[in-house]
Structures are given as C-alpha cells and as structure tokens.
C-alpha cells in the first residue's frame, strides 16, 4: 500500500503544481498584481501548504530544486504505467507528465518542480 500512497501523492502534487502555475499566469496576464492575487487565493478555498510555500517561489522565479523535474517525470511515468494496468485513464496526470517532459527536453531536468 505504501507504493500506492506514494504514487497517489505524485498525482496530487503534479496537478497541484499545474493549477498553481495556471492560476498565477492567468491573473498576471489579466493585469492583476501578483502579490494581491496570491493573498486572495491563500485566503480562499484554493489555499493549501503548496500554495503557501510554492506560489511565492513561483512569483520570485525561484526554480531551485526541492524535487527535480527528472524525478517527477519518473514518478509520473510509474503512475501512468500503473494506471494503464488498471485500465484507468488519468488525463490530468498525463497532461502534467507531458508538460514536465517539455521541461526535461529543454535540459531542465535538474531544475525544481517547486515541491
């Protein structure tokens, strides 16, 4: 059961990173002040440990590794392999895997995923 919990965690972390990034980029492109958006999101239902810790790093463009892209890629590949055996589509995880793959292909595998 430990491996299943680890893989489930990787699904949640990967998708959470994706949602944080999309929310912040949307707000910034729409002209909002990033720090005010962050404050608003942290005060609502979107708040979480990841939002408290990772979103400020994103705004500072701090991509120092907490967990490297190449390791996230490995773990999400394991998730997708297990899901395939269960005949379980995981479209959000598959999208997240592809987006991390783009970073990896740009030689950013040692950069942080922000976790």
For residue 13, CA distances in Å to 22, 24, 39, 100 come to 14, 17, 21, 13
Is 6 labeled as catalytic in the residue annotation? yes
Name the token pair of 28. 């910034």
State residue 68 phi and psi, 5-degree precision: -75, 150
In the block, tokens 């463009």 appear at 61
Query: Looking at 6, 29, 57, 70, which residue is catalytic?
Result: 6
* Burial (CB count within 10 angstroms: exposed 0-12, middle 13-18, buried 19+), residue 15: middle
Residues tagged active-site: 6
């Amino acid at each position: 059961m430990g491996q299943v919990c680890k893989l489930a965690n990787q699904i949640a972390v990967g998708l959470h990173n994706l949602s944080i990034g999309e929310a912040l980029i949307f707000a910034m492109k729409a002209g909002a002040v990033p720090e005010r958006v962050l404050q608003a999101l942290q005060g609502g239902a979107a708040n979480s440990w990841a939002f408290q810790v990772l979103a400020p790093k994103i705004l500072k463009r701090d991509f120092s590794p907490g967990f490297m892209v190449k390791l996230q890629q490995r773990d999400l590949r394991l998730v997708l392999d297990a899901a395939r055996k269960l005949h379980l589509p995981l479209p959000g995880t598959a999208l997240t895997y592809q987006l991390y793959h783009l970073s990896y292909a740009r030689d950013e595998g040692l950069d942080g995923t922000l976790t």
